[in-house]
Amino acid sequence: MNSMNDVTESLWEYLEAKRHLWNIHFRGKVDSLQHCPILDEFEKIDRSLFRALVVEDIVNSDDASRRRLIEKPWELLRVYLQPGLESIRMIVSDPISGLNRSWNRPEILKVPEEFDFGFIEFFEWNRYGYTNFPLIRVTVDHRSKMPALSGREALIESGQARFVLLATHSESLPIATM
């Protein structure tokens, strides 16, 4: 069985840095979404922030795990609900085909105990205005205890989450308790 390490503080630190940089230094520089090189530059900075504040902070040595965490975070970085929550407000995507997502109306869903999601990104409906990232975009994988949602993406409220890094036996990871 995989061991688990709570990495919630690293994710909140990353989100705060990303949010601050965008809102204070980049937001007012976006003139047009069709031609706006500043957005490309911000995306590069965002990836660097994720590497520096999350990946380097939580993965001690394994280069393969670092690459996997950067390229496919949902495989190693899991989102659990805060203890005591039995149901959550969730917006579920239609079955995924291609790059676009069609989101359904928010629903209150009862979630099985110890249910987890794969982390994709912090989510904001209007990425180019003032951002707060109140939601987390997650994936419901095929091993889930909610088969009707298997293979779909969902949006859940940030305040309901804690983040856990799954570690394989070959990795050297910091020790944290859940």
Give residue-wise pLDDT tens across range 114-151: 788 999 999 999 888 899 999 999 998 766 677 778 77
Weakly modelled stretches of the chain, pLDDT under 70: 1-4, 59-63, 142-144, 167-178
- Return the DSSP state at 21: I
pLDDT, position 142: 63
pLDDT, position 134: 95
pLDDT, position 162: 92
Question: Which residues, 6+ apart, have CB-to-CB distance to 65 below 8 Å?
Answer: 59, 76, 168, 171
Query: Distance (Å, rounded) from C-alpha 177 to C-alpha 174?
Result: 10
